[in-house]
Amino acid sequence: MARVLYMGLPFPAEPQKTAPSSSSSSSPSKPLKLPHRTCSTNISIPSTAKGGGNRLLKTQKLNSEVSPHRAVSAVRLMRIELGGAFADLLNEKGKGSGENEMGYVQRTLGFRTRELNHHDLRLVTDIVGGTIRWRRYLDHLISSLCHDKDISSMEPLLLQILRIGFYEIVKLDMPPYAVVDENVKLAKFALRPGAGNMVNGILRKLVVLKEKESLPLPKVEGDDRAQARALATLYSHPVWMVRRWTKYLGQEEAIKLMIWNNSEPSFSLRANRARGFSRDDLVTQLNALKVPHKLSPHLDEFVRIKTGLQIIIQAGLLKKGLCSVQDESAGLVVSVVDPQPGETIIDCCAAPGGKTLYMASHLSGQGKVFAIDVNSGRLRILKETAKLHQVDGVITAIHADLRTLPDSGQLKSNKVLLDAPCSGLGVLSKRADLRWNKNLEDMEQLKELQDELLDAASKLVKPGGVLVYSTCSIDPEENDDRVVAFLARHSDFHIDPVDRYVPPDFETSSGFFFSNPVKHSLDGSFAARLVRDL
């Protein structure tokens, strides 16, 4: 669920789908609701409520003393952790949580700051993403330096301010005493003077320890459980993920994977051939915008960028439908499907539509893609984006739950794609918050859902046709194991190796497609071609 401005519209970009979690199910536009323990702060602010005139006046005041990027970062972190917003949701102006960024600051902190400039925006992106990635690591340091070691009872806003300060000092190497001063101001104005004093004391302790190179970090020693806990803190991942990856990959590869997940994400752009916009045209535009880029070595329509996405957004390339943000791993899944002009393809869990649109662009106006999805809102966005990309003539949207789709026999095809909801463990570099929203119980439920969807999708495949099962997970229990279990239930299907469709480096020994984040520097992704016997 990597949320970026995708396909030109400000909605959640999901080059690959991840299953929603209970902690992120709230709408990003809903007001922030905080636990009762925060009642002593001025966070939850009904600025339009009757009788709130004095409060409304306060929220109109401009505070020129508080650093605007820190204020916005603190509020955005609050919305992500407590309000169900998404970590890298952008609007078309690149200002984050909808068009009313400063409105959220007003309602949460009780004052406005100056508007963000381009430098501020970049800092907000760095601080929010980095603070979320390193949350476990930062919380370990904070609890080590607090009198009360249990920071779970700390006021949420105060904790976010401390996390920001710790991240800036430890990971961004910002001038330490400037960081102390600015975060103290934020705590004093947004909370109270005593909170500022507390931030001052804790951050100054951190500065001293960092200068002495004696941060209180755990050592990787003891039994497997103890080592996993230490690694989880050092590389800021949940313990269960560390143990799972150590089991499947070994400790060395698990560490490499966590380092990748904590690195700044890169993005790929796909030129929209359906609009007559080639990769050469895209390169010309990027050169004019002075955005550094590299050509994809795997896909002819894709270009890689590390920085400059906001410049591209502001230039209108996405809004005009000339290109879209899509990881190459998602494009390679489409290569496994191998859409050709004149074909009919069923996309079983289509929305928000990244793969749907890419497949449709390959049909050259000849053929049909039936896009099925249970989420009507995302399906509506898919239809709007299809018009923008000029592929609406070949896409038919069907609002339905695949598992209860009437088995009338009318909707069958030689090519069916099931891009299944999954854990998203392959996209953690882009979805920094996702690691904190998943647990082992979710994995078990997802496997059951994936099996149900595979069984339902198989009914749509004509004899001799192909079912492509894909995920954005690196977990074998969601990938290889699900295919093996499916084949045990459906003896009329067999594996069709992917070697004809993707570069050899992406084919597994079982004939499946797999992109390894560490090996390929792409999102983790999986796909299997399953052919139904005649």
Domain ranges of the chain: 7-211, 224-262, 267-325, 328-532
Whether residue 280 has pLDDT greater than 90 = yes
| Predicted local confidence at residue 3, as pLDDT | 31
| Predicted local confidence at residue 428, as pLDDT | 96
| Predicted local confidence at residue 121, as pLDDT | 86
Report, as an integer, the average pLDDT of 10-36. Answer: 44
Rounded to two decimals, the pTM is 0.87
Buried b (16+ CB within 10 A) or exposed e, 32-45: bebeeebeebbbeb
Which tens digits make up the pLDDT trace of 402-447? 999 866 567 899 999 999 999 999 999 999 899 999 899 999 999 9
CA-closest candidate to residue 69, choices 50, 100, 95: 95
Active site residue 348: no
SS3 245: helix
Q: Where does residue 217 fall: left (phi above 0), alpha (psi -120 to 50 degrees), or beta otherwise?
A: beta
| Predicted local confidence at residue 34, as pLDDT | 42
Buried b (16+ CB within 10 A) or exposed e, 246-281: beebebeebbbbbebbbeebbbbbbbbbbbebebee
* Whether the Cβ atoms of residue 5 and residue 91 lie closer than 8 Å to each other: yes
What is the average pLDDT value for the chain, to the nearest integer? 87
Report, as an integer, the average pLDDT of 392-398. Answer: 96
Which tens digits make up the pLDDT trace of 79-99? 998 876 665 443 333 444 444
Whether residue 521 has pLDDT greater than 90 = yes
Report, as an integer, the average pLDDT of 448-452. Answer: 97
Phi and psi for 166 in degrees, rounded to 5?
-65, -45
| Predicted local confidence at residue 41, as pLDDT | 35
* Whether the Cβ atoms of residue 318 and residue 7 lie closer than 8 Å to each other: yes
Residue 117 tokens read as: 């400039």
Residues whose CB falls within 8 Å of the CB of residue 425, separated by 6 or more in sequence, listed in order: 241, 438, 473, 474, 475, 478, 524
* 461-471 and 525-532 beta bridge pairing: antiparallel
In this prediction, residue 450 has a pLDDT band, given cuts at 50, 70 and 90, of very high
| Predicted local confidence at residue 103, as pLDDT | 85
Which tens digits make up the pLDDT trace of 459-496? 999 999 999 999 999 999 999 999 999 999 999 999 99
From the annotation, which residues make up the binding site for S-adenosyl-L-methionine? 349-355, 373, 401, 419
In this prediction, residue 116 has a pLDDT band, given cuts at 50, 70 and 90, of confident
Residues 433 and 86: their CA atoms lie apart, in Å, by 8
| Exposure of 166 in the CB half-sphere (CA atoms within 13 A) | 29
SS3 197: helix
**Which residues is 270 bridged to in the sheet?**
302, 324
Phi and psi for 527 in degrees, rounded to 5?
-155, 140
In this prediction, residue 20 has a pLDDT band, given cuts at 50, 70 and 90, of low
Report, as an integer, the average pLDDT of 343-369. Answer: 96
Phi and psi for 216 in degrees, rounded to 5?
-80, 80
CA-closest candidate to residue 415, choices 532, 315, 245: 532
Report, as an integer, the average pLDDT of 67-85. Answer: 89
Residues whose CB falls within 8 Å of the CB of residue 202, separated by 6 or more in sequence, listed in order: 142, 145, 146, 162
Whether residue 222 has pLDDT greater than 80 = yes
Q: Is 60 exposed, middle or buried (0-12, 13-18, 19+ CB in 10 A)?
A: exposed
Residues 421 and 403: their CA atoms lie apart, in Å, by 13
Cα 166 to the center of its chain, rounded Å: 23
| Predicted local confidence at residue 51, as pLDDT | 38
Helices 193-211 and 176-190: angle between axes, nearest 10 degrees: 160
* Whether the Cβ atoms of residue 390 and residue 361 lie closer than 8 Å to each other: no
CA-closest candidate to residue 185, choices 277, 250, 111, 87: 111
Whether residue 53 has pLDDT greater than 60 = no
pLDDT more than 70, % of the chain: 85
| Predicted local confidence at residue 409, as pLDDT | 64
| Predicted local confidence at residue 28, as pLDDT | 37
CA-based end-to-end distance of the chain: 37
Whether residue 27 has pLDDT greater than 50 = no
Whether residue 252 has pLDDT greater than 90 = yes
String of DSSP letters for 382-406: HHHHHHHTT-GGGEEEEES-GGG--
Whether residue 23 has pLDDT greater than 70 = no
Residues whose CB falls within 8 Å of the CB of residue 57, separated by 6 or more in sequence, listed in order: none
CA-closest candidate to residue 171, choices 133, 124, 218: 133
Residue 157 tokens read as: 């806003």
| Predicted local confidence at residue 102, as pLDDT | 83
Report, as an integer, the average pLDDT of 255-280. Answer: 96
Does domain 328-532 match CATH 3.40.50.150? yes
H helices of 250-299, in order, are: 251-262, 279-289
323, 348, 422, 472: the catalytic one is 472
Which tens digits make up the pLDDT trace of 148-180? 778 989 999 999 999 999 999 999 999 999 999
Does domain 267-325 match CATH 3.30.70.1170? yes
Whether residue 15 has pLDDT greater than 70 = no
Report, as an integer, the average pLDDT of 315-319. Answer: 95
Whether residue 50 has pLDDT greater than 60 = no
Whether residue 140 has pLDDT greater than 60 = yes
Whether residue 7 has pLDDT greater than 70 = no
Identify the H or E element spanning 462. Answer: strand 461-471
From the annotation, which residues make up the binding site? 349-355, 373, 401, 419
Residues 32 and 75: their CA atoms lie apart, in Å, by 10
| 7-211 and 267-325 share one fold | no
In this prediction, residue 233 has a pLDDT band, given cuts at 50, 70 and 90, of very high
* Whether the Cβ atoms of residue 295 and residue 303 lie closer than 8 Å to each other: yes
Residues 317 and 311: their CA atoms lie apart, in Å, by 10
Residues 524 and 404: their CA atoms lie apart, in Å, by 30
| Predicted local confidence at residue 407, as pLDDT | 62
Q: Which CATH class is domain 7-211?
A: mainly alpha
Whether residue 350 has pLDDT greater than 90 = yes
Residues whose CB falls within 8 Å of the CB of residue 346, separated by 6 or more in sequence, listed in order: 369, 370, 372, 411, 412, 413, 415, 416, 417, 457, 460
| Predicted local confidence at residue 473, as pLDDT | 97
Whether residue 9 has pLDDT greater than 80 = no
Whether residue 357 has pLDDT greater than 50 = yes
Residue 324 tokens read as: 């879209």
